[in-house]
Amino acid sequence: MVWMEKSVVSQRQEFVLLAQQEGANVRALCRQFGISPKTGYKWINRQVAAGEQPALQDRSRRPLNSPCRSAAAVEQAVVDLRHSHPAWGGRKIARRLSDLGHGTVAPSTVTRILHRHGLISAEASAQSRPWQRFEHEAPNSLWQIDFKGHFPTLAGRCHPLTLLDDHSRFNLLLQAHARTDTAHVQPELEAAFRRYGMPLRINADNGAPWGSPSAGGTSLSELAIWLIRLGIRVSFSAPYHPQTNGKIERFHRSFRAEVLAGHHFADHAVAQQAFDAWRPVYNCERPHEALQMQPPISHYQPSTLAFPERLPPIEYPDGDAVLTVGWNGFIRFRGQRLRTASALHRLPVGVRANSHEDGVFDVYFCHQRFMQIDLHAPRLDN
């Protein structure tokens, strides 16, 4: 296979710097970038031999090692232990795996497996890791996504779609769009997932296409439902609080100052050329004060959570009341007609008794709780 024609030098630079990260899986990176291992190693070796140069800056001399992926038996043992001991976290399960002869497994690896199988609830995550934490401790723990407003071109409005890793500030996606609907956003996210893997969580604002706040007070849009089915936890910024997505807002400031200010573009293709020229500079060369004057790529590694070719089945614990959502997002539960989200039409949701309040039930879609039912509260059926 050959390199894609667009931004060849910047793609080579990004590939080489990612491949030089500690624990990088070079063959997986080759697949994600659409090149053969022979081509990938050719550019890695050429960069190492040439040293620093404008086109391919050598940021690291660390050896290339393939990461140790968890075997299927180890992953199943983690899931079985969690089912047997629902209160156990990553450290306890990791120690028990060692006692059972599965070798040394890092607690962080156990936690990722639990997230992947939907065995850590949003409430448990909130209790174990404060939401006010300014920076997530590892790449791909949280991605932030947004449209950076819009600006005019001779061909019409341009809406830049931006996607940022919270830990490293690495820009995963910077794309010029004429529209902001799910049909345009979902293919871009799928391409990002195929290249970089998937995150544990994505945070967005409450507007379309991310959320749907008008749908009965919930925020599950068609796009959010797709992300949740992929195993990703979706969260939303509080209204009128853009600082919740503070890093991407800061990224937008740099993007506006370094790309958009004082420039006009004939159409979206010309704007995309400017985006493609700036993105590798931001990711691979531009020093970042919050990263000790290092570029974002020096703190980023692709995720080990691969994009699946088929959506996994929707399953709920045996104790849940599983209901199929009807027209306009309505369900019937214990004699009440309740609205969820219109985008859930014909999909199953799980209704689970709240362990802290009698008469209160949590409503889940896959692993994500998205609303509550209080049977004691007065309700006006629609």
pLDDT 10s digits, 106-127: 888 888 888 888 877 655 554 4
The answer on pLDDT for 161 being more than 70 is yes
The model's confidence at residue 213, banded by pLDDT at 50, 70 and 90, is low
Can you give the residue ranges of every domain in the chain? 1-67, 72-120, 143-299, 321-374
The answer on pLDDT for 74 being more than 70 is yes
Centroid of chain to Cα 70: 21
Token pair in block for residue 294: 């290092």
Work out the average pLDDT over 26-34.
89
The answer on pLDDT for 289 being more than 60 is yes
Work out the average pLDDT over 79-102.
73
Residues 6+ apart with CB under 8 A from 140: 165, 167, 196, 197, 198, 199, 200, 301, 302, 303, 305
> What is d(CA 271, CA 275) in angstroms, rounded to the nearest whole number?
6
pLDDT 10s digits, 226-238: 999 999 999 988 6
The answer on pLDDT for 221 being more than 70 is yes
The two beta strands, 143-147 and 201-204, are parallel
Paired with 332 in beta bridges are 337
Predicted pLDDT of residue 297:
94
Residue 262 identity: G
Q: Sheet of 368-374: strands edge to edge?
A: 321-324, 348-353, 360-365, 368-374
CA distances from 310 to 226, 306, 332 (A): 11, 12, 30
Residues 6+ apart with CB under 8 A from 232: 198, 199, 200, 201, 202
Question: Does the global pTM surpass 0.75?
Answer: no
Query: For residue 145, how many C-alpha atoms fall within 13 Å in the half-sphere facing its CB?
Result: 30
The answer to whether 186 touches 264, Cβ cutoff 8 Å, is no
Q: Which CATH superfamily is domain 143-299 in?
A: Ribonuclease H-like superfamily/Ribonuclease H (3.30.420.10)
> What is d(CA 10, CA 253) in angstroms, rounded to the nearest whole number?
22
pLDDT 10s digits, 165-201: 999 999 999 999 999 999 999 999 999 999 999 999 9
Give the rounded percent of residues in the chain with a pLDDT score beyond 90: 42
The answer on pLDDT for 132 being more than 60 is no
The answer on pLDDT for 59 being more than 50 is no
3-state SS class at 275: helix
3-state SS class at 91: helix
> What is d(CA 220, CA 365) in angstroms, rounded to the nearest whole number?
9
| Helix or strand run (H / E) with residue 13 | helix 8-19
Give the rounded percent of residues in the chain with a pLDDT score beyond 70: 81
The pairs formed by 158-165 with CB atoms below 8 angstroms and a separation of 24 or more are 158/265, 158/268, 158/271, 160/255, 160/271, 160/275, 161/185, 161/188, 162/248, 162/251, 162/252, 162/255, 163/189, 163/192, 164/247, 164/248, 164/251, 165/139, 165/140, 165/199, 165/296, 165/300
Of the candidates 208, 200, 157, 151, the one whose C-alpha atom is nearest the C-alpha of residue 178 is 157
Q: Which residue has the higher pLDDT, 276 or 104?
A: 276
